[in-house]
Copies of this chain bind each other. A is one copy, B any other.
Amino acid sequence: MGTTGRKLRADAERSIRTIMEAAERVLSENPGATMEQIAEAAGVARTTIHRRFASREALIDIMTVAAWREIAEAVDAARPSTAPPQVAMYQATVNVLRVKSGWRFALTNRGPLSGEAARIEADVIAKCDLAIRRGQQEGAIRPDADPLWVRRVYLALLTEAAHGPHPGHAGPCGEAAPAETPAETDADIDELATRVMDTLIRGFGPARPEADRPRED
């Protein structure tokens, strides 16, 4: 029913959005959450969800596709194939972090994707690999580094930056309470992106002499 061709009334489409947002919120804290819980969070009867989404699985699938579409947009907006690799990757990192914080659940790895989501993911991955290759040719990334490993590390860093605790607050153990998304400011996201790129390119080793990096104070 989700992708039936007929035109929906305005309030119906509003319902769909509300449901997906609530589902994202609830499922990101409890991936096994019930349709009932999702409905309650959305302020909607459970039957309404079933009216708009054929099944629980369908709901999640549609959310996943929507999320990956936004990711693809975020990547393309960074002009990864024309801009210089460094600035493209930084910009892509910023954009993707923003999207990821809004699709915490939908973009979580729950086994391999399928259908359109898989196609979009493959496309994004390809662009990511291209950027890495260009980074190597340009000298920003060591040529002897395994591109696959670089990509995996980059993606892992993205996930860490998007889903972990924030720079400011540090609980006793750090990640015990990821409860709320504290409405990331642009400054926050910029700092996170800087962290990711810095970690990726410089690592945590001692600062380089001023040959590579102009300054650092």
Contact = CB atoms under 8 A, between A and B. Distances in A.
Interface of A: 112, 121-122, 125, 139-142, 145-146, 148-153, 156-157, 159-160, 164-165, 167, 170, 173-176, 195, 199-209, 211-212
The 10 closest A-B pairs by CB, nearest first: A203-B203, A201-B205, A156-B156, A202-B203, A141-B204, A156-B160, A145-B204, A202-B205, A152-B160, A112-B176
Contacts of A112: 176
A184 to B, nearest CB: 16
Copies of this chain in the oligomer? 2
Contacts of A176: 112
A138 to B, nearest CB: 10
Given A156-B156, A167-B146, A173-B125, A200 B204 contact: yes
Contacts of A152: 160, 164, 174-175
Nearest to A151: B174
A38 B69 CA distance: 37
A151 B156 CA distance: 13
Contacts of A141: 204-205
A201 B204 contact: yes
